[in-house]
Every structure is written in C-alpha cells, then in structure tokens.
Copies of this chain bind each other. A is one copy, B any other.
Amino acid sequence: MKTEIQNFQRARSLEAKELRETAILNAARTLAATQGVRNITLGAIADRVGMHKSALLRYFETREEIFLILSGECWLEWSAAVRKELTEFKKPSALQVSLTLAKTLTARPMFCELLAQAPLNLERNVSLAAVRSFKLTALNEVKLIASELKRLKLSSRQAIDIIATATSMAGALWQMATPSPEVLALYRNEPQLAHAVVDVERQLTQILAALIAGFLIEKRRQRLPVRP
C-alpha cells in the first residue's frame, strides 16, 4: 500500500512539474513574441508566471536554457510547415523553393531572432545536455528538409548548404532589419544610409534562388562525361 501511495505522489509531483514547465515556456514565448527575445529577462518570465525567480530556477537553469528549448520547438514547427509547402509542388522550381524558404522564415520573427541568438548566446550559457538535445533536434529537421530539397536533384551536401544559408541569413538579415526605432529612423532619413534598410524576404529570396541555380549547374557539370 505504501508503495502505491508513493507512486501516486511521485506521479502527482511529476505532473505538477510538467505543468509548471509548460507554463514557464508559454510565458517566455508570449513575452518574446511581443517584446523580442533580447528584451526578456528571467525576472520578467517569473513575474508573468507569478512565481519567484529563485523558484523558476528549480525548473530551468538559465534564461538561455528556456530560449534554447523554444528554438528547438521553432525548428520543429518551421520544418513541418516548410516541408508541407514543398510537398505540394509536383516538381518544384528553384524559385518556388527559394520563395517558400524565405516566406516561411520571415513569417516567423521569433524563430529568425532565435536563429541568430542560438550560436552566439543560447548555446553558451546552458548545460551540455541542453545543447545536445537542441542540436539533435535541429540537425534532424535539417535532414528532413534536405531530403525534401533533393527532389530538385541536389546532392545532400548542397541541400544542407542551402538550409544553412537560409536559416543563417534569415537570422542575420532579421537582426539588421530590426534595429532600434531611432536607428531605423536614421537609416530612413539619411540618403547615404539607404542601403542599411533591409527587406529580408526579398533579399533572402534573391540569394537563395541564385544559390540553388548555382548548385544545379554544379551538379549538371558533374554529370557530364569527362572529356578525353
């Protein structure tokens, strides 16, 4: 009887722990969506869940761990969305693939922000286990998207380079496109700084379309018989 009660209590406490963790992640997601990842402190997340910061630290080690978990979730969600769109094309063209990658990424501002933040900040202030779990998730999604891209007759290596460029450039261009309001006003008002204003979707599509076209001629050249 004692064991059964213990099991019940353990289950109850595990369930309570999971509920708490979900509440914390939800709070971080909501705050980041409205105020941007960079501006969200651990204290703000704790406030929103209605718990003390020291209590929150029993569930997650650092602010970075919370956002690294959200990055993993974003990878899963984006990957599913982009693969769904890609499968809908009977025989996708380079331009269709570029547009799909650029559109689905820029439609996810929080993911773009996390893509730039992950290697710089998030992967550095967490446990090895947290980095490992995030990396396994991201690499697995890269593999899944890459096999979808191979329908364009690209090699695995080329498909992976395309995904690396799409996600890294989305992260970098997004950061450039969203400076502080004062800096953005400066860019807009000073003709010499006009080039500092970035249109992420347009520039990302252009770059990806050329990259894919370039990889396709590379493949075609490799298939040509070697001249004597």
Contacts and interface: CB of A to CB of B under 8 A. Distances in A.
Interface stretch (A43-51, A63-71, A81-89, A205-213): A205-213
A124 interface: yes
A215 interface: yes
A152 interface: no
How many subunits of this chain does the assembly comprise?
2
A41 interface: no
Interface string A165-199: 10011011101100110110011001011011000
B218 A213 contact: yes
A225 interface: no
A136 B192 contact: yes
B165 A195 contact: no
Contact of A210 (B132, B171, B180, B214): B214
A145 interface: no
24 contacts: A38-B124, A116-B116, A119-B175, A119-B179, A120-B120, A123-B183, A124-B180, A132-B186, A132-B190, A132-B193, A136-B192, A142-B195, A157-B206, A158-B210, A161-B203, A164-B173, A164-B207, A168-B168, A168-B173, A169-B172, A171-B172, A210-B211, A210-B214, A211-B214
Interface of A: 38, 116-117, 119-120, 123-124, 128, 131-132, 135-136, 139, 142, 157-158, 160-161, 164-165, 168-169, 171-173, 175-176, 179-180, 182-183, 186-187, 190, 192-193, 195-196, 203, 206-207, 209-215, 217-218
